[in-house]
Amino acid sequence: MAHRPNILILCTDQQRADSLGCYGNSIAKTPNIDALAGRGLRFDNHFTPNQICCPSRGTMITGLYPRHHGMTTNGRTIHEGLPTLPSFLNNAGYDTHAVGKLHLQPILADKSLLYPESLPFWKAGHSANWTGPYFGYRTVDFMIGESLLATQGGHYAQWLKEHLPDVIPLYHPEAALNGPLADLNEAWTSAVPEDVHYNTWIADRAIAFLERAKPPFMLFVSTPDPHHPFSPPRPWADLFDATDMPIPKVTDGELDLMPDYLSSRLGTDWIDNDSPPVEQGGMTMTDRIAPESLACAIALTRGMEAQIDHQFGRVLAKLDNKGLTDETIILFTSDHGEFLGNHGLLHKGPPPYQDLIRVSFVMTGPFVPEGEATMAPSCHLDIMPTLLDLCGVSNSGCRKDGVSLRSVFEGRSLERQARFLEFHPRIDNSVYNHSIVTKDWRLTLYPNCEDGWGELFDLKDDPGEHRNLFNDTKHRKIRDHLAEQLTLNFPARQEAGTELIAKW
């Protein structure tokens, strides 16, 4: 190779690992990501250390736990001056560009802070001709939020206002071609034409960058979907029949064995209908939603995923057309997962179920084995050190919480016996939790709760996590052992989290 490898990262928002054909979903229509996995390495045991957007994305760009990069919840940003993946690559001569939803700053930050990912930045007129730099990226084409929110700030909103102002009201649920549903007002068929939808625009901007890019480059392409609301445009909204959707797995009485907040307060104080969620993730219960409505939301989600796959396919085709595929490391992943009805829950929230923390992770390109799968215990912490290692870029002198996955590519084991997770609440400190996950077990403790909440799951016998064994006397020995390991090995906090700047 005449130069260092290029990097193309394809990222989605709130997508379950089991939503893809290459991860065993027989209903999914994701041929482009499936083909990527077929010619690369599929990680079947990849985790994010936090199930909320901003903390997870902060980890992806810094290689640090949220308690170390500072963005422990939405509404914050990372510690000032922290080196990032694009900043290291930028300094090494890479052309670094990001397209789509980055979510590295609060959306509602005060206008005095001049945060580009905040709506006031765009409403106050500071955005004219602004395209970066941003967290190490030389240039950006980004959007803020999803659905109607995407029309209020960011480059996509700016593009609509200048060229297609009549499209903006079509994002509103009142303009829906079908829906919203009476008992699930987040599910509808968008009236926005597909060719001007934000997922199409994201692919268009990525393709435009590839047209002009000179190697080596890093391109980060991030869609805001399939994050709720469940509102794809046609034809994707009509691609799946709700009656064909599998029923989410719920075991009778399973939430009765979980911490009290999962049954006593859900659907009331977790959600504020007129503003962003009160607590992280907007988690709610599905017992107020008709099975037919939930099936419709699942079908619409499958449609969003198919739409994203199609647009990512366009980006991959352009890369191939430019003759750059063989010299480009391509990575596909998501920031975190989604309940989508499992356990009788929707969206995401405090409990670190596998539905939320296990995400898809596929890599292809130089140094990466072809057509293989691995159960190596990888994590979003490993993205930055892996890519810098493969590109021959040093990150010496900075803190490292993750490791390079080169050993996995070379057929060696990954020396990681356990992974650690942490959820920071925005409001209710009793739901703060931290976890240890091993090959066979997950233990989650709620140290701020006087009632002694906890979760213990046997991942070998109960991979879907439907039977909480925390208070089962037969499992007290393994519970106490894991609790000791969690106490001894959980990464120490070096600094406090950054200031809570905005609610969202």
- The answer to whether position 496 is within a domain reads no
Q: What is the reported pLDDT for 429?
A: 86
Tell me the pTM: 0.95
- The answer to whether position 421 is within a domain reads no
- The answer to whether position 19 is within a domain reads no
Q: Which of 304, 77, 272 is nearest to 194 (CA)?
A: 304
**In 3-state terms, what secondary structure has residue 444?**
strand
Residue positions counted in the chain:
504
How many CB atoms lie under 10 A from the CB of residue 487? 12
- The answer to whether position 490 is within a domain reads no
Q: What is the reported pLDDT for 501?
A: 67
Q: What is the reported pLDDT for 413?
A: 86
Token pair for 141: 């084409």
Contacts of 457 (CB under 8 A, 6+ apart): 441, 442, 465, 467, 468, 469
List average pLDDT for each run of 10 residues in the chain, which is 504 residues long: 87 97 97 98 97 95 95 88 95 97 92 89 82 96 92 95 97 92 92 98 99 97 96 98 92 90 56 48 85 96 99 98 97 97 93 97 96 96 98 88 95 89 88 95 94 94 97 97 95 68 64
Helix (H) or strand (E) holding 98: strand 95-101
Q: What is the reported pLDDT for 497?
A: 60
In total, how many domains does the chain have?
1
The DSSP code for 101 is: E
Q: What is the dihedral of CA 431, 437, 443, 445, to 10 degrees?
A: -30
- The answer to whether position 387 is within a domain reads yes
- The answer to whether position 483 is within a domain reads no
- The answer to whether position 108 is within a domain reads yes
- The answer to whether position 329 is within a domain reads yes
Q: What is the reported pLDDT for 279?
A: 58
CATH number at residue 183: 3.40.720.10
Its domain, for residue 88, covers 44-409
Contacts of 49 (CB under 8 A, 6+ apart): 55, 56, 59, 65, 66, 357, 379, 380, 381, 419, 420, 421, 422
